[in-house]
Amino acid sequence: MLKGYLKVRDTCPVCREDLSHQRADDGPAYLTILIVGHLMAPIMLIVFTAYRPEPLVTITIFAIGCVSLSLYLLPRLKGALVAFQWARGLHGFAGRNI
């Protein structure tokens, strides 16, 4: 469904479904921030209280973790949001799905 990292194809290469009218917009970014924040904040609190690492080490490790997790989740959540729109018949998908 995706062409490149986040670009949605105009049509599905398998079933020829028209995807040009999808409206994912900022939804995947919002969900990514929500998930990464809810995962990293408790982990950061646990690591800080249990091990008391140096601030520079803490910031480096958690910055790399946040960026890596965000880059991993973003295209998957965009695909999931477009699939949700298709399944619910939203934004021009109405009457096209089974």
Residue 80 has pLDDT above 80, yes or no: yes
* 48 Cβ neighbours under 8 A, 6+ residues apart: 58
Mean pLDDT of 2-12: 93
Lookup: tokens for 18: 């028209």
Residue 74 has pLDDT above 90, yes or no: yes
63: alpha, beta or left? (left if phi > 0; alpha if psi -120 to 50) = alpha
**Tens of pLDDT, residues 26-35:** 999 999 999 9
pLDDT at 96: 54
pLDDT at 98: 52
